[in-house]
Amino acid sequence: MSLDYINVIYFGTVFFILTFILGAPLNAIGNTIPYRNFLILGFFLNLILNPIFMFGWFGFPALGLSGIAWATVVIELLGCFYLGYYLYESGLIDKRIGKIVIPIFEPYKNLTYQGFPASMNMVTVAIGIFIITYFISRFGKEAVAAYGIATRIEQIALLPTIGLNIATLSLVGQNMGAGNCARVKETLYTALKYGAYVILPGFFLIIIFSRQLMEIFSSDQVVVDIGSIYLKIAAFLIWSYVIMFINVSALQGMKRPMFALWVGLGRQIVAPIAIFYLFVYVIETGLMGIWLGIFGINWTAALISLVYAKRIMQAEERRLA
């Protein structure tokens, strides 16, 4: 069943990448509306296309689980056309593009310098999921299911901060280019302040309704019990993600993209292997050891990112003074 789904998703990977690429220049000039509209439209299209492709409604063949993947790929393809149209009309693309296809090395070098560490950071996230799942699987399939459900709920709580990450990267990058360090500092601290505000509803919902949220997705009481315990810890963990992601975005805007890679390697691979092994096999603290390990690792990474971003801002202020 997993292969039925993931093989189709891999087939459509190019469309996922293209939507990010087409949306990024629009975000950089402050026009976030097309990408927002694509996400909203994609949400509603998923509600329509998922059952059509999955169950074979209206004469379509019943594709089962792979139908959900095909629906996602189709929506991403439509998003490429939608965002491509807005990007073309924005004037950011030279309409003589067919006549100037010879690449210039310097922009590609700069893009690689900025983009490669961020891409590799996503690789560490993927590897990190394997590592966490490996250790959690020691405690049974119910624990794996509980973690999978709980992290999706956790991600929903974090959704309001995505816009702050994009805004931070765009504004910090623009103001660093203009040599306006005061505005860089203002951007970072404003994003952190509003990040703390927008996460509050998710925090209280998770704290108060952790069990009810788990019961939406599973009737297995073992899964619900495990997941609700993790969610109560995660409610205090989401603040660390806000701090870390906003500071990483600011550092990328200050042309310090390697930090994202180093912090990713530390919090997703090196620290989890060491700490989870200690808690699971040496101290034998059970699942609680893994939950507390995730909590400690991410809060440590968040505080390091906060201190490092502040130090880089101070260094830039001295350089431009």
pLDDT value for 95: 65
Q: What is the mean pLDDT of the chain?
A: 90
* Alpha carbons 39 and 67: distance in angstroms, whole number: 19
**Quick check: 179 and 173 in contact, CB under 8 A?**
no
* Alpha carbons 242 and 245: distance in angstroms, whole number: 5
Question: How far is CA 218 from each of CA 151, 189, 215, 228, 265, rounded to the nearest angstrom?
Answer: 14, 40, 5, 11, 33
Pick left, alpha or beta for residue 57 (phi over 0 → left; psi -120 to 50 → alpha; otherwise beta).
Answer: beta
Q: Are residues 137 and 121 in the same domain?
A: yes
Q: Are residues 50 and 3 in the same domain?
A: yes
Q: What is the maximal distance between C-alpha atoms in the chain? A: 68
* Alpha carbons 270 and 18: distance in angstroms, whole number: 31
The last residue of one of the domains, among 102, 129, 144, is 102
Whether residue 296 is predicted with pLDDT greater than 90 in this model: the reply is: yes
Q: What percent of the chain is predicted at pLDDT more than 90?
A: 60
Q: Are residues 121 and 167 in the same domain?
A: yes
In which domain, by residue range, is 88 found? 1-102
Identity of the amino acid at 128: G
* Alpha carbons 28 and 15: distance in angstroms, whole number: 20
Q: Are residues 117 and 200 in the same domain?
A: yes
Mean pLDDT throughout 284-292? 92
Mean pLDDT throughout 19-38? 87
pLDDT value for 74: 94
Q: Are residues 181 and 226 in the same domain?
A: yes
pLDDT value for 99: 58
Closest CA to 310 of 199, 202, 184: 184
pLDDT value for 78: 95
- Domain tally for the chain? 2
Q: Are residues 138 and 174 in the same domain?
A: yes
Mean pLDDT throughout 121-133? 90
Q: Are residues 57 and 205 in the same domain?
A: no
Mean pLDDT throughout 196-222? 92
Chain-centroid distance of CA 154 in Å reads 12
Higher-pLDDT residue of 212, 112: 212
The last residue of one of the domains, among 47, 72, 102, is 102
Q: Are residues 227 and 266 in the same domain?
A: yes
Tokens of 104: 């210039």
Q: Are residues 129 and 33 in the same domain?
A: no
pLDDT grade for 89, boundaries at 50, 70 and 90: confident
* Alpha carbons 266 and 28: distance in angstroms, whole number: 29
pLDDT grade for 97, boundaries at 50, 70 and 90: low
Q: Are residues 136 and 247 in the same domain?
A: yes
Closest CA to 144 of 226, 234, 237, 216: 226
pLDDT digits over 143-172, tens only? 999 999 999 999 888 888 888 888 898 899
pLDDT value for 59: 81
pLDDT value for 105: 80
* Alpha carbons 30 and 150: distance in angstroms, whole number: 33
pLDDT digits over 249-274, tens only? 999 889 888 898 999 999 999 999 99
pLDDT value for 84: 92
Higher-pLDDT residue of 309, 27: 309
Q: Are residues 167 and 61 in the same domain?
A: no
Q: Are residues 142 and 22 in the same domain?
A: no
pLDDT value for 288: 93
The last residue of one of the domains, among 72, 102, 132, is 102
pLDDT value for 24: 87
pLDDT digits over 53-78, tens only? 999 888 888 888 899 999 999 999 99
Whether residue 320 is predicted with pLDDT greater than 70 in this model: the reply is: yes
pLDDT value for 98: 58
